[in-house]
Structure 1
Amino acid sequence: MQREDLSDLNAFLAVAEEQSFTRAAARLGTSQSALSHTVRRLEERLGVRLLMRTTRRVAPTDAGERLLRTLRPALDEIGAELAGLSELRDKPAGTVRLVASENAARGLVFPALARLLPRYPDLKVEVSVDAGLTDIVAQRFDAGVRLGEHLAKDMIAVRIGPDLRLAVVGSPGYFAQRPIPRTPQDLADHVCINLRLESFGGLYAWEFEKDGRELRVRVDGQFTSNDVSLILDAARSGLGLACVLEDQVTPGLADSSLVRVLEDWCAPFAGYHLYYPSRRQPTPAFTLLVDALRYRA
């Protein structure tokens, strides 16, 4: 069957059902003369007359009736299949790949997924945990999660969490032997636990701000790790002071295994954002995930 046959058959069906070239032309959004030409072309190609034309009405011939009996269910089936494909296009399905730090993955991404995934069985989400500045385009991720201050300018960013603060903490045993630091400069007299972040150029410089004054302090101590959980274990064990995100020390402050200091030097900053390339054409699945993660104060 030629490609134009389907269009011509649809034109014939419209005229036969409407029993009028005028009404059929209006239904198909074409002119009466163009429609008449299409039906005549179909009849010439088939070698049979399909319609009887009078001044009052148009009616199928015997050949036309036979064609109609075959054509109606066939086109109905095609229409139903096209509708099904459209529904599939709009249905959230497929795999979405994200990369996020452990803190963001556990505290923000996973709780949202736990609510979302049971409602959409055709949606799959892969979360890769990585604290570095991953190139999501090169690594073929659909999106990543970063703090607001580390977002690239050519990315679309969607806020998925509240403002955050840093927290400097130590164990009660540590402070039993050393004075409480009152300013960031006092850290020079303390043992501190370093966080190694290769993506940020090595050891993290502790960041402080008060009354518009910003300070970055390089600290020193016996223990260094790239894992925040291990750093907090070291702080609870009395090996030194740690500087981590505020929400990561909440359990330790609650059970008094950690003591917080320099709180007035820890100003709020932009929290976690979901980011993805501006040229990306969102799929229904990706759009659904973005909406589920979007922060609503």
Structure 2
Amino acid sequence: MGSSRFLYVGSFDYFAQRGIPMCPEDLVRHDCLLHRFPTTGTLEKWPLTRAASKPEVRLSASMTSNHVETLLHMVVQGHGIACLPDFAVKQAVADGALRTVLDDWANCCSTFQVLWPPIGSCHPGFGNLSISWPRTCSWNRIAIRPSVRIE
């Protein structure tokens, strides 16, 4: 269906108060807004592109959410830095509400796939659309239930 790139973003007000991270190690001194997988409860690792010899940066979560729009709202409000798909932050960056940081380490892309079950395999009244994309070797699935009954 398409692909996207993950970007590290924060508000200008946040960076004016806390400074701009220049390398991934600087993130330990920042408020990181992290995504939590709804199915497992685990925190998603930020896909920082780094040399294999470099140790993983352990981020401290100032807030977690399993909802991209919630993370976007919180980062626009100046509550920290988030790693979000480019399509989610495109307008906020264009409008000047957010700026990207750590662009040299933001090279991870993902591909969207849409899966629709065969006709007759759905429970009447539910449309089971599953939108999936790989994020650091794991799958995130969102089931969407329509507000109207499908007959």
Q: TM-score, normalised by structure 1?
A: 0.36
2:10 is the counterpart of 1:170: yes
Contact between 1:207 and 1:217, CA under 8 Å: does it hold in 2? no
Gaps of 5+ in 2: 120-151
2:42 is the counterpart of 1:202: yes
1:184 maps to amino acid: P
Q: 2:2 aligns with which of 124, 138, 161?
A: 161
Corresponding pairs, count: 119
In 1: Cα distance, 2:7 partner to 2:36 partner: 17
Contact between 2:35 and 2:68, CA under 8 Å: does it hold in 1? yes
Give the drift of 1:187.
Answer: 0.4
**Structure ranking higher on relative contact order (CA contacts 8 Å, 6+ apart):** 2
In structure 2, relative to structure 1, the CA distance for the partners of 1:270 and 1:171 (3 Å cut) is: closer
Give the drift of 1:200.
Answer: 4.9
2:35 maps to amino acid: L
Give the drift of 1:210.
Answer: 4.5
In 2: Cα distance, 1:171 partner to 1:178 partner: 11
Q: 2:93 aligns with which of 250, 253, 274?
A: 253
2:66 maps to amino acid: N
Contact between 1:166 and 1:266, CA under 8 Å: does it hold in 2? yes
Give the drift of 1:223.
Answer: 2.1
Contact between 1:206 and 1:218, CA under 8 Å: does it hold in 2? no
Contact between 2:7 and 2:106, CA under 8 Å: does it hold in 1? yes
Contact between 1:172 and 1:258, CA under 8 Å: does it hold in 2? yes
Contact between 1:206 and 1:217, CA under 8 Å: does it hold in 2? no
2:25 is the counterpart of 1:185: yes
CA deviation vs aligned residue, 1:29-63 (integer Å, no higher than 9, x gap)? xxxxxxxxxxxxxxxxxxxxxxxxxxxxxxxxxxx
In structure 2, relative to structure 1, the CA distance for the partners of 1:197 and 1:218 (3 Å cut) is: farther
In 2: Cα distance, 1:268 partner to 1:206 partner: 9
In 2: Cα distance, 1:233 partner to 1:256 partner: 14
In structure 2, relative to structure 1, the CA distance for the partners of 1:259 and 1:220 (3 Å cut) is: same
Contact between 1:169 and 1:235, CA under 8 Å: does it hold in 2? yes
In 1: Cα distance, 2:55 partner to 2:88 partner: 22
Contact between 1:167 and 1:245, CA under 8 Å: does it hold in 2? yes
In 2: Cα distance, 1:215 partner to 1:206 partner: 13
In 2: Cα distance, 1:232 partner to 1:256 partner: 14
More helix by share: 1
Q: After TM superposition, list the pairs within 5 Å mapping 1:5-84 onto structure 2.
A: none
Contact between 2:10 and 2:78, CA under 8 Å: does it hold in 1? yes
Give the drift of 1:165.
Answer: 1.2
Gaps of 5+ in 1: 1-159, 284-297
Aligned to 1:235: 75
In structure 2, relative to structure 1, the CA distance for the partners of 1:213 and 1:254 (3 Å cut) is: farther
Give the drift of 1:275.
Answer: 4.8
Secondary structure (helix, strand or coil) at the match of 2:109 reads coil
Q: CA RMSD in A?
A: 2.6
